[in-house]
Structure 1
Amino acid sequence: MIFDRKQQRLLLEGKEYTFEDISRLIAGGAEAHSPASWDLYLFLNEWFNDSPVIIVHTSGSTGTPKELIVRKDQMMQSARLTCEFLDLKKGETALLCMNLRYIGAMMVVVRSLVAGLNLIVRPASGHPLADIKEPLRFVAMVPLQVYNTLQVPEEKERLKQTDILIIGGGAIDEALEAEIKHLPTAVYSTYGMTETLSHIALRRLNGTLASEHYYPFSSVKLSLSVENTLIIDAPLVCDEILQTNDIARIYPDGSFMILGRKDNVINSGGIKIQAEEMEKLLRSFIPVPFVITSVPDQRLGQAVTLLLEGQPELLEGQPDTKEIGNKLQEILEPYYRPKYIWTTDCIPQTENGKVNRAKCRILAKQMLTTFYTHTLTP
């Protein structure tokens, strides 16, 4: 592997590019290149410059998006950990199909530079395998891209011909995980964040090694806070010990499970409800995209609220809130039952497809205000 940036070359669709080559391509202007290629050239220009750091953006799934300054040498260490774990070798083909604004896509490129992978570039779209011809050794996608790919027979077949798929950037629901189990591809769910320069742990989703647990890289040390949130000590990729908001359970063999985020604990009448665990329980009962959130409540403190994706103005094709409400009455204990069930055009999401929990809470509060305005208006 090559860790000296001055010695690195990008193997792009079988052709090798130096920093000087990238500089000449940029000098030619954006109009001569596809948007996806242009974004790659701009990233490489930043990567190869003399600065030891680079700016990355968080997704904003739990709050306001922010910029982080990260060290390039630590990004290369992260790349090494992944390439060694997955046994990625020089000349093997990797696909870049995510937004280069975020760390997940950046790390696909850095892995290619460090390990000498042959990079194939496609736009950050819902169907990244739509026109792929060559077999791929390694692909990184978000859950929505995987879901869309599995709906199209030709694209599903291309995915089956891919050796390794890692999935990050969002939760993988039970239905998607069940379909993944039938793929011959080695598929992993990743755990990490921008601050850890993508993932520090992987969970195999299919095959004989399939597990519900994430397994951290050997250099990563994990512990729990008094609130059972995960503490990450990953010195190769992060100078500081990270106190996360992820509520976790650590097992004797060092593996762990994520139960949800501390931010997403709803305290309703003194009962603490983890939104993600409740969503996992309800997925088989609710036939449309949905999210569990909360609104302020004078008696309970926070009231559990269910947002369903649909078209409120349509009489047909929208989720039946009454039917869903009756079903939840049967399967949930009283304190866990949503006090409000509302339909919205779409569940708020971040740019890279995660549920935007903060905006969901704001939307639910606005809907509560509208509800009471209409209720109290004579």
Structure 2
Amino acid sequence: MSAPGEKAASELPQRLWLNGRVLEGRKDFERALENASEQERPVLEFGLRWCSDEPEMVLHTSGSTGRPKEIRAKKICMAASARMTVRRLGLRAGDTALLCLPMDYIAGQMVVVRSMLAGLRLVARRPSRRPFEDLARAPDFAALVPLQVLSTLEHEAERSLLAATREVLIGGAAVDRALAARLASFPNRLWSSYGMTETLSHIALRPLSGPRAGVWYEPLEGVRVSSSPRGTLAVSAPAVGVSLIETNDLVVFEPGSDRFRVLGRTDNVIDSGGIKVPAEALEELIGTVLESPFAIAPLPDPELGNSVAIVVEGTPDLPLPDFRALLRGAGLSPYWKPRSAVFVERLPRTRTGKLDRTALREAARSAPGRFRRAL
């Protein structure tokens, strides 16, 4: 039974403008499936599930920090999440929305829900690294992962379309310092999003462009955040069905404010001989001087338990920065210095573009000796 003021699942909007066609209700989605294109089919299949009388949807986590799992989410909560985003971004009926994320996960699904709730004109594309390729004009709204943004920046015409997109959400993985610096001068509004499948997409946004660009995430309306006894972020968002959830993300709060900065995940802290090395903080620092894609991973060590390794896309002759000098210049512990480098053809990532930390650790451990270098 729905709470007071809530709509039943069957009463939620079911009208979708998809690639130039207006579909409304189960029968329209079924008919459209008969001759659907490759990029439209997963949208229509999602639409059928949304139009059913079932009050919940089955969602899947990305598996970036462990095994993927199923989560059941109320449709009314997904609709509430969509409204929060629409209000924050000022999206209006008739705006165009680019869908270029996989429909297997919450990020892509919520683009569709926002489109139905706000009357957006959905442009569905096959997920790829270059979502603006062959687009004739910029959409009003787009949700991307950092890999897509990086690829877009390498092509002038596509970069121009990105800059002309009024509202851009970047999520699924962290936006590092180097990428944030490249986006800071863009004329449109770009946001780094913070959230997870359990919170039905993002619950906070960090401005990446404009006068408010910086490191602080700003909670959406109706979201309460605090610090847990472990120093991790705790989230309460009743509208999306989250009474209280404690994350594994270490955070600091801006004094006197609910704006927060993410330092890294507790499960990505490497204990090396008693020295706690936060992998993500070290990656952020190294990313200011190393252009090749890389990540920090632990390697088993008979003396230290674990040693710090840098896993780099490239060959063993690739020049690396002076890590000791870099740490000294940043006022950080010299014991954070990577003791070895492992070279791989490509860093392992999930389908949503997140770094797959579990696969990364295995790749670091199993790399042949000729692809390793002592530092």
| The two structures share one fold, judged by TM-score above 0.5 | yes
Query: Which residue number corresponds to residue 15 of structure 1?
Result: 21
Runs of 4+ in 1 over 4 A off after TM superposition: 2-7
Q: Which amino acid aligns with 1:303?
A: S
Q: Please report how far the alpha carbon of residue 71 of structure 1 lies from its aligned counterpart in structure 2 after TM superposition.
A: 1.0
Structural mapping, 1:66-81, within 5 Å: 66-81=69-84
Per-residue CA shift, 1:171-190, capped at 9, x if unaligned? 11222212211211110110
CA distance in 1, matches of 2:162, 2:266: 35
Structural mapping, 1:213-362, within 5 Å: 213-251=216-254, 252-311=256-315, 318-320=317-319, 323-324=320-321, 327-332=322-327, 333-362=333-362
Counterpart contact for 2:86–2:118, Cα < 8 Å: yes
Per-residue CA shift, 1:31-56, capped at 9, x if unaligned? x3221101111110111111111111
Count of residues in Structure 1 that have an aligned counterpart in Structure 2: 358
CA distance in 1, matches of 2:341, 2:131: 35
Q: Which amino acid aligns with 1:119?
A: L
Counterpart contact for 2:145–2:173, Cα < 8 Å: yes
Query: Which residue number corresponds to residue 38 of structure 1?
Result: 41
Structural mapping, 1:61-140, within 5 Å: 61-140=64-143
Q: Which amino acid aligns with 2:75?
A: K
TM-score, normalized by length of structure 1?
A: 0.90
CA distance in 1, matches of 2:252, 2:46: 37
Q: Which amino acid aligns with 1:356?
A: D
Counterpart contact for 2:199–2:242, Cα < 8 Å: no
CA distance in 2, matches of 1:15, 1:130: 22
Q: Please report how far the alpha carbon of residue 298 of structure 1 lies from its aligned counterpart in structure 2 after TM superposition.
A: 2.7
CA distance in 1, matches of 2:93, 2:31: 25
Of residues 201, 204, 209, the one that matches 2:207 is 204
Counterpart contact for 2:299–2:361, Cα < 8 Å: yes
CA distance in 1, matches of 2:146, 2:224: 27
CA distance in 2, matches of 1:87, 1:352: 26
3-state SS of 2:306 partner: strand
Q: Does 1:178 align with 2:178?
A: no
CA distance in 2, matches of 1:184, 1:150: 14
| RMSD over equivalenced CA pairs, Å | 2.0
Counterpart contact for 1:56–1:102, Cα < 8 Å: yes
Query: Which residue number corresponds to residue 48 of structure 1?
Result: 51
Q: Please report how far the alpha carbon of residue 127 of structure 1 lies from its aligned counterpart in structure 2 after TM superposition.
A: 1.2
Unaligned runs of 5+ in 2: 1-5, 328-332
Unaligned runs of 5+ in 1: 313-317
3-state SS of 2:309 partner: strand
